[in-house]
Amino acid sequence: MLLTVTPNPAIDRTLHVPELYVGAVNRAVKVDLAAGGKGLNAARAARTRGDAVLATAPLAGHTGRLLAELAAAEGFPADWFWLESGLTRTCVLLNHRETDTTVINEPGQPISEKGWHGFVAHSIYGFYTGQKRPYHRN
């Protein structure tokens, strides 16, 4: 099983517009939401090859809950590390002309030293033992 660790996860919100006009009102014709971040994208790619994966990331707030729901809807087995405060970031992808994409990445919120150490321990403990982490919180 492949453990993917995503230290800066995001909700990827893709807005599809026929044409992108800078400085003007643009109307989306379709909106897609997905759990994102490099580790989750790697997990998605590994699953297309048939590999078993387990995803972990530090999540926070209502946006973290939404990311967890999106990942579950995709069928990702996951063991999230829940931070005590903050929000999980959202990134906006503007897909225009059906082939071009402009990406606006929101910065990740700072994680406290205690939160970061907890997340690292959460990830490493599970990687080495394959067991539920002692820092796991719902």
User: Does 136 map to a domain?
Assistant: no
User: Does 137 map to a domain?
Assistant: no
pLDDT digits (tens, 9 = 90+) for 9-56: 999 999 999 999 999 999 999 999 999 999 999 999 999 999 999 999
**Which pLDDT value is given to residue 125?**
64
User: Does 24 map to a domain?
Assistant: yes
Which CATH number does the domain housing residue 80 bear? 3.40.1190.20
User: Does 72 map to a domain?
Assistant: yes
Q: What is the 3-state secondary structure (H, E, C) of the chain?
A: CEEEECCCCEEEEEEEECCCCCCCCCCCCEEEEEEECHHHHHHHHHHHCCCCEEEECEECHHHHHHHHHHHHHCCCCECCEECCCCCCEEEEEEEECCCEEEEECCCCCCCCHHHHHHHHHHHHHHHHHCCCCCCCCC
Quote the domain boundaries for residue 59.
2-129
As for how many domains the chain has, the answer is: 1
